[in-house]
Amino acid sequence: MVIAIAIVRMRDLFATVMLTGIFSLLSAGLFVVWDAVDVAFTEASVGAGIVTVLMLGTLSLTGKSEKTPAYSPTLPLVVTVLTGAALIYGTLDMPLYGDPAAPIHQHVAPRYLNESYGEIGLPNVVTSVLASYRGYDTLGEVTVIFTAGISVLLLLGTTRRTKGKSKDDREEGEKP
Amino acid sequence: MRHHIVLRVVAKLLIPLILLFALYVQFHGDYGPGGGFQAGVIFAAAFILYAIIFGLESARLVVPPTIIRAGVALGVLLYAGVGVASLLLGGTFLDYSVLAHDPLHGQHYGILLVELGVGITVASVMIAIFFTFAGRSR
């Protein structure tokens, strides 16, 4: 929370990026406390590691300090506060953390926990769910990453090369 | 970066360990925390560290952009290919049980291959994005 406020108040973008990395690392620690080791692992490596490096790379392309905004921050502030209040109001209905009667523990979770070892044979249930039961979702996620990579290569990667290479033409044809 | 002797030596010591840890996370994801996404990111982090310390040009020599671009597509193709293979073997799409005689072994092979595909794509995309950004800044 303190770090989030510091990120908002900071004008120096370099320090902001560093604080964002620290924020991710702290969230990773929080996830470990909540026994979500896989999520924590992802947060630590992606959030604290790669994103920080990419933001620094972006900073080297743009400037290092934030410009003073030309418009009044009142309207965005009101919208954000209203949205945040609505979201927090929504959480009041949710079951308590760790409540065994919560709907999420009643639907498919017991089946995954009790039978996945017999059906898949892996001790790590998270991997079983991600790669086998939810194989379609993971395929979609990989496709999203693939699309992101192709888009970056298309937008930024081909500036130096001469036009008319057949491979680039074909990739451009897939763009919406 | 010619004069940062400490950085260069430490990076040379660390990079093999980072790569080894990435492979451990990749192939041990079935038994502990980890999997393709995390392993791919760690794998890419090793090359990004190399590129930061030793310069972009030498990093481009280590992993040529053609290989990265091939890797971006190869991972998705491997993932979808496992699904198509299970289709051809008589199951439904991404049903790994038909990949081997024993359904449990089939599931194991399928998850291993699928996670490998995820890892290849994630690592390639991360390296590609970093190289592109770093290449623009000069």
pLDDT for B125 beyond 80: yes
pLDDT at residue A119 in the model: 66
Residue A53 domain flag = yes
pLDDT at A77: 85
Q: Which of A25-29, A155-159, B13-17, B58-62 has the lowest mean pLDDT?
A: A155-159
Which pLDDT value is given to residue A82? 92
Predicted confidence at residue B106, as pLDDT, reads: 75
How much is the pLDDT for A66?
Answer: 65
Least confident segment among A74-78, A165-169, B52-56, B121-125:
A165-169
Q: Looking at the domain assignment, is residue A33 inside a domain?
A: yes
Of residues B44 and B29, the one with the higher pLDDT is: B44
Whether A117 maps to a domain, the answer reads no
Mutate to test the interface with B, among A137, A146, A159, A166 (most CBs of B within 10 A): A146
Q: What is the pLDDT of residue A166?
A: 40
Tell me whether residue A171 is in a domain. no
DSSP summary character for residue A75 = H
Nearest to B132 among A53, A146, A156 (CB): A156
The confidence score (pLDDT) of residue A83 equals 92
Q: What is the number of domains present in chain A?
A: 1
Contact B129 A149 (CB under 8 A): yes
For chain A, 176 residues long, the average pLDDT of each consecutive 10-residue run is: 67 76 84 80 81 79 68 82 89 72 67 67 70 77 85 72 42 38
Report how far residue A105's alpha carbon sits from residue A111's, in angstroms, rounded to the nearest whole number.
10
Which of B124, B136, B137 is closest, CB to CB, to A149? B124
What are B83-103's pLDDT values in tens digits? 888 788 777 777 777 777 777
Whether A38 maps to a domain, the answer reads: yes
Please check whether residue A39 touches B, CB under 8 A: no
Domain extent at residue A17: 1-66
pLDDT at A117: 66
Predicted confidence at residue B115, as pLDDT, reads: 84
Name the residue of chain B whose CA is nearest to A63's CA: B137
Residue A115 gets the label, from left (phi > 0), alpha (psi -120 to 50) or beta, of alpha
Chain A residue with Cα closest to B107: A120
Separation CA A166–CA B11 (nearest Å): 38
- How large is the ipTM? 0.73
Q: Is A122 on the interface with B (CB under 8 A)?
A: yes
Would the pLDDT of B14 be above 80?
yes
Residue A59 located in a structural domain: yes
Average pLDDT, chain B: 81
Q: What is the pLDDT of residue A170?
A: 40
B15 pLDDT above the threshold of 70: yes
Any domain includes A144:
no
pLDDT: is B31 or A90 the higher one? Answer: A90
Residue B96 at interface with chain A, using a CB cutoff of 8 Å: yes
**A125, part of any domain:** no
